Structure 1
Amino acid sequence: MEDPTSTARPGGIVGVLAVAGIVAALMQTLVVPLIGELPQLLDTTASNASWVITATLLAGAVAMPVIGRLGDLYGKRRMLLACTVPLIAGSVVCALAGSLVPMVVGRGLQGVGMGMIPLGVSALRDLLPPERLGSSIALMSSSMGIGGALGLPVAAAVAENADWRLLFWGSAGLSVLVAVLIWRLVPGIPPRTRGRLDYVGVIGLGIGLVGLLLGVSKGADWGWTSGGILGLLATSAVAFVAWGWWELRAGDPLVDLRVTARPQVLLTNIASVVVGFAMYAQALIVPQLLQLPAATGYGLGQSMLAAGLWMAPSGLMMMLISPLGARLSAARGPKVTLFAGGLVIALGYGSSAVLLGSTWGLLVVTCICGVGVALAYGSMPALIMGAVPLSETASANSFNTLMRSIGTSVSAAVVGAVLSQMTMQVGGYSLPSEAGFRTGLMIGCGASLLAALLALTIPTRPSRPAPKHAAPVKRPATVPVGSSVG
C-alpha cells in the first residue's frame, strides 16, 4: 500500500501534476535548437542524427499505454514516481553523451518518462472533488502543448549562449524536482483493478506502433515506395490485426477494445488523431517561416531564440484558456468544447491567409491556434473518462494520448512531403516555397474542420458502465474524490 501524504491539498496536487506534465513535455522540444549541430556534436550524418528525435517519439508511443495500464494495476502515484526515473536517467545519459548511440538511448528513456502526462490526468479523477476536476483536467491535458511552446525559447537561449549539455543537466534537475514534489504532495492512490500486465499485448502493440510510426516518420528520407518503408507498414498492419485478435480474447487485456469501441470513446480517439494532426502542422510551418531569410520574399529572418520567443505566447494562451474551456464543458458538455476547439484552430489557420507576412501576424496565428488546442485537448479526457470504468481511466487516457501522437506523426509526414515537393531555388539552395507553406496551412485548416465535424458525431448521453474487475479500495481520507467527469 502506498503512503498517502496527510497534508496534501487539491491545489498542491494540481500544481505538482501540471508542473510534472510540462516538464515531461519539455523533452519534445529540448533538442530542436540543436538539430542543425547534432551531426557535428555526435560525429555522425544528418540522417543518423534524426534518430535523436525519432527515438523519443517511438519510446513514448510504446510506453504510454503500458504505463497507463500499470497505473491502474499498481497505483498511479507509484507509476508517476517510476516515470521520473527514466526522465532523470535519460537526461544524465544525454548530458554525458559524446556519440550517437548513448544520445539515442538517453532520448528513448526521456520518451518513456512522458507517460506521466496521461497518468497525471487520470490521477486527478481519483484525488479531486468534482468542482475542481474539470479545470484541473483541462490544464493537465494541455500541458503537452504548454511545455512544447515554452520549452523552445528556453532551450534556444541555452543552446545559443552556453554549453549544450546544460540543456540535459537542467532537464535532469527539473525531473528530480518533480520526483520530490510528487513524493511529498501527491497522496497514494490504491489500485483500481486487479490482474496482471498483458505482456503479449505489450509486444504486439509495440511492433505495430514501431512499424507504423517509423514508416511514417522515415518515409520521406527512405522513399515511400522503398522496400524498407513498405515492409514496415505491412508488418505494422499484420501486427495490429494479430494484436486486436489477442486483446479481444485476453483475460486482462492491455487495452480493453470493447470499451474502446464504445461510440463516445472511439469517436473521441479518432478526433484526437485529427486534432493532433492539425495542431502539429502549424508547429512545423511557423518556425520555418520565422527563420527563413528575408531574401526569400516571405521568410522573416529571425534567429532560433527570437523564433521561440515569438511562439511562446501560444503556450501562455493555452494555460489561460484551459480553465475557460473547463467552464464551457461544465455548462454545455465536453463535446461542445471539442467542437469549438476545432473551429478555433481552423480560424487560426484561416487567418494565416492574410497574416503570413509579418512576425506579429504569425504571433496572432499561433495564439489563435493555441486557444483552439487548449479547448480541444482539455475536453478529450472528460469525454474519455465519462465513458470508461474507474478501473481503466489511466489506460484509456494513455491510449487517447497515443492517438494524438499518431496524429502529430502523420502531420509531420504529410507537411514534410508538401514542403519537399513545392520548392524554389534561393542562392543555390532548394527551399520550401511560399505556396508550399500556404498549402500546408490550408491542410491544417481542413483537418481542424474535420475534427469539429467529428465532435458533432460523438453521442451526447454517455453510458455509465459499472467498474470492471474493480477491487474494493480505500480512498485517501484526506483528499476529496471526484467520481465523475463532465
Structure 2
Amino acid sequence: MVSPSLGAPTAGAPDQRWTPRLVISLASIVLMLEMLSISYIMIATALPSISKHYQTTQGAWLLTAFLLFGAMVAPLLGKLADLHGKRLVLLIAVFGAALGSLISAVAPSYGVLIVGRALTGFLVPCLFLSYSLIRDVFPPKTIALAVSIATSGMGLIAIPAPFITGWLVDGFGFRAIFWFALIALVVLGTLIRLTTPESPVRQQARLDIIGAVLLGAGIAGVLVGVSFGPTWGWAAASTLTYLIGGIILIGAWLVSASVLKEPLVDIKVLRQRSVAFTVTAAGCIYGVSGLYTMLLPMLVMTPAMLGLGYGFGTTAEGTAIFQAPLGLFTVLGGVIVGVLVGRANAKPRMMMAAGAVSAGIGCTLTAFSHDSKGLIILFGAFVGLGMGLGYAAVPNLLIEAVPPQLQASTASIAGVFQSIFPAILPVIAFAVMNNSYIAVFPPEVAQMLQGAVMYTSDGYKVAYLIAAATAVLCLVCALALPSRIKQLKVSGDEIVEADDLGEPEVPAYA
C-alpha cells in the first residue's frame, strides 16, 4: 500500500532560507556527486597505465563493471530509500563506493580491480538518492537551485579534477586516484551524516525481492551482452545468451510489476508520458556525456608526430586544458537551470531541449574539426553547457511529475537509463572505429606505441556523430514532454493525477 508522507520535511518550512548548515549540506552532497563525474575522467586518463600494469586488453571492464553494478542496484536502493529513508540508503551507498575504492587501490590483480570498480558503482544511485533527499528536506524556495547544482556540480572538484588526475597518475601512479577517491568519500559521507537531516517521507509497502532480482539480473544480462558483443561476436552463443536472457528477465519483471500490488517500481508511473520521456532523455544526455568524455583524452593524447589529422601528444596532466572547460560549462549549465526554474519559472523541458541542442552542436562540430586545440576546447564548452543543462533538468522534471513517496524508486529508473546509455554508446562507437584503425606503422613508431591502437580521423568523426545523433534523440524526447506536467498524487491505494484530486497544479518547489 502507498501511504502519504509520515510527516512534513523538517527543513521545508516556507520561511526558511539558506543557512550555514544548509550550505555545508549541499556542498557535501555536490562534492560527493562530483566524485561520480570525475570517476570517468580519472579512469579514462589512467587507463593506459592500468592496462600496461596488468597487461590486459580488457580495459572496457573498468567502465562496464562500474555502470553494470550501478544499474543493477539502482532500482533496489531506490525502493529501499522510499521505504526506510533516503539519507540512510545514500550513506550506505557512499560506504559501498568507498569500500570499492579501497579494493581498487590495493588490487593485486586485474580481476580484483574489476570487483573494486564494480562496488564503486554504488556512486551511480547516489545521484538520484541525493536530489530525492534534497526535495524532501530543503526549503521549497531553494530546491530548484539545489538539485540543479547537485546534479551538475559546483566545479570545486570537477574543474580541477583533470589537473589533479594528471598530477596523481604522472607523479604517483594509477593507484593514487583510488586512494584519493577513498579519502574524499569517507570525509564527504561523514559531512552528509552530520549536516543533512533524514527525510520523514516514507512509502508503506513490502519490498519486492522477486522484482529486484528479475530487473537487476535482466539489466546485467543486456549490459554484458552489449558490452562484449564486439569481442565475443554478435552471433556467438555467449552474447546471445546474455542478451536474450536479459530481455526475457526484464519482460518477466514487467509482467510481475503489472500483477503485484506492491511492485519494485509502479508501472503506472513509468507509463506516464512525463516520466517515460524524462528517463529516456536522461539516458540520452548522459550517454552523450559518457561517450564524449571517453573519446576526448584518447583524441588529444595521440602523438602528433603520427600525422593522423588529430592528436597533440599531451600527457595525462596535459589533458586538463581540454577537460577543465568542459567541467566549467557543465557547472554553468546547472546554475542557469537552477536560477531560471527556481526564480523565473522556466520550464525544465525547455532547459533539457536547450541542453540537447548545445551538446549536439558541440559534438557535430568536433566530428568535422578536431585538429585544433582551440576549437576542441571551444566545442567542448558547447558540450559541457549542454550536459549541465540536461543534468539539471532531469531532477526538476521528475520533481514536477512524481510525488515524494515514489520519488526515489521512480528516479532509480532514470538512474538505470543513465547507466545503460553510457555503456552502450561507446560499444557502438568503438565497433565502428575498430573498422578504421591504423594497423601498420613504421617499426620505430610501432615500438613507441607499444601495441596501442590508433584510429583514423574518420573513425573519430563517426564516433562524434553518434554522440550528436544521441543528442538529437534527447531533443525529440524533451519536445515530446507535456508542456504542462501534471504531478501524480497518492490517494489511498491508488496513484492518480493531480487534476483527478481536484488540487491546483503547482511545481513541487514553488
Report the TM-score, using the length of structure 2 for normalisation: 0.86
Correspondences of 1:132-281 after superposition (within 5 Å): 132-143=142-153, 151-281=161-291
Shift of 1:261: 0.7
The answer to whether the 8 A contact 1:391-1:468 is kept is: no
CA contact (8 A) 2:367 2:460 kept: no
Residue in 2 that maps onto 1:119? 129
Cα distance between partner residues in 1 of 2:297 and 2:174: 20
Give the percent of matched residue pairs that are identical in Structure 1 and Structure 2.
Answer: 26
Rate the CA distance shift 1:233–1:484 in 2: closer, same or farther, 3 A. same
Please report how far the alpha carbon of residue 392 of structure 1 lies from its aligned counterpart in structure 2 after TM superposition: 0.9
**Which residue number in structure 2 is paired with residue 463 of structure 1?**
486
Specify the alignment match of 2:374 in structure 1: 360
State whether residues 30 and 154 of structure 2, in contact with CA within 8 Å, keep that contact through their aligned partners in structure 1. Answer: no
State the match for 2:35 in structure 1.
23
- Deviations 1:232-279 (Å, cap 9, x if unpaired)? 110111011101001112222111111011010011122222223322
Q: Which amino acid aligns with 1:46?
A: T
- Answering whether residue 31 of structure 2 is matched by residue 45 of structure 1, we say no
CA positional deviation for 1:416: 0.8
Matching residue of 2:468: 445
- Residue 424 of structure 1: which of 433, 438, 453 is its match? 438
Q: Matched residue of 2:487: which SS?
A: coil
Q: Distance in 2 between matches of 1:53 and 1:446?
A: 22
Q: How does 1:318-329 map to 2 (within 5 A)?
A: 318-329=330-341
Structure 1 contact 38–46 (Cα < 8 Å) conserved: no
Query: Is the partner of 1:26 in helix, strand or coil?
Result: helix
Report the counterpart of residue 414 of structure 1 in structure 2: 428
SS at match of 1:466: strand
Q: Residues 8 and 185 of structure 1 are in contact (CA less than 8 Å); yes or no, is this contact kept in structure 2?
A: no
Deviation at residue 484 of structure 1 after TM alignment: 0.2
Which deviates the most, 350-359 or 315-324? 350-359
SS in structure 2 at match of 1:231: helix
* Inter-partner Cα distance in structure 1 for 2:94 and 2:492: 29
The CA distance in 1 between the partners of 2:397 and 2:162, in whole Å, is: 30
* Cα separation, partners in 2 of 1:393 and 1:300, compared to 1, 3 Å: same
1:210-229 CA deviation, whole Å, 9 max, x = no partner?
A: 11111111122212222111
Distance 1:446 1:167 in 2: 33
Greater mean alpha carbon deviation, residues 423-432 or residues 11-20: 423-432
1:81 alignment partner in structure 2: 91
Q: CA deviation at 1:372?
A: 0.7
Query: For 2:284 and 2:350, how far apart are their aligned partners in 1?
Result: 16
- Tell me whether 272-281 or 233-242 shows the greater mean CA deviation: 272-281
Q: 1:46 to 1:423 in 2, by over 3 A?
A: closer
The alpha-carbon deviation at position 40 of structure 1 amounts to: 4.8
CA contact (8 A) 1:346 1:448 kept: yes
* Uncovered stretches (5+) of structure 2, i.e. residues with no partner: 1-5, 12-18, 447-452, 494-505
- Counterparts of 2:230 and 2:272 in 1: how far apart (Å)? 35
Aligned equivalents of 1:254 and 1:8: distance in 2? 37
Q: How far did 1:345 drift?
A: 1.0
Equivalent AA in structure 2 for residue 236 of structure 1 = G
Matched, 1:92 2:102: yes
Offset at 1:360?
1.5
Which residue, 20, 30, 35 being the options, matches 2:47? 35
**Aligned pair in 2 of structure 1 residues 394, 468: CA closer, same or farther (>3 Å)?**
farther
Task: Assess if the C-alpha contact under 8 Å between 1:342 and 1:451 holds in 2.
Answer: yes
* C-alpha distance 465-300 of structure 1, shift in aligned 2 (>3 A): same
1:341 to 355, 361, 370: 355
TM-score normalised to structure 1 length: 0.90
Counterpart residue identity of residue 383, structure 1: L
> How far apart in 2 are the matches of 1:206 and 1:233?
14
Q: CA deviation at 1:59?
A: 0.9
Is residue 32–residue 152 contact of structure 1 (8 Å, CA) maintained in 2? no
Structure-2 change in CA distance of 1:203 and 1:152 (3 Å): farther
Alpha-carbon distance change, 18 to 65 in structure 1, aligned in 2, over 3 angstroms:
same
Q: Which moved more, 1:333-342 or 1:393-402?
A: 393-402
Alpha-carbon distance between aligned partners in 2 of 1:315 and 1:166, rounded to the nearest angstrom = 21
Give 1:145 shift.
10
- Of 410, 415, 431 in structure 2, the residue corresponding to residue 396 of structure 1 is 410
Give the partner amino acid of 2:98: I
Q: CA deviation digits over 1:352-383, x for unaligned, max 9? A: 25642111211111111000111111111111
The size of the alignment, in residue pairs, is 473
Contact 1:146 1:316 in 2 (8 A): no
Q: Does 1:350 align with 2:364?
A: yes
Q: What residue identity is the alignment partner of 1:308?
A: A
Deviation at 1:152, TM superposition (A): 4.2
TM-superposed deviation, 1:100: 2.6
Structure 1 residues 278 and 101: CA distance shift in structure 2, 3 A: closer
Instruction: Say which of 428, 433, 452 aligns to 2:456.
Output: 433
- The answer (yes or no) to whether the contact 1:126–1:483 under 8 Å persists in 2 is no
CA separation of 1:434 and 1:27: change in aligned 2, threshold 3 A: closer
Question: Does 324-333 or 367-376 show the bigger shift?
Answer: 324-333
Q: Write the distance in 2 (CA, Å) between the matches of 1:450 and 1:419.
A: 22
Amino acid at match of 1:458: L
Seen in structure 2, the aligned counterparts of structure 1 residues 242 and 282 have a Cα distance that, compared at 3 Å, is: same
Pick closer, same or farther for the CA change 1:46–1:349 going to 2, 3 Å.
Answer: closer
Structure 2 equivalent of residue 317 of structure 1: 329
- Residues of 2 paired with 1:102 and 1:242: CA distance? 32
Structure 2 letter corresponding to 1:279: S
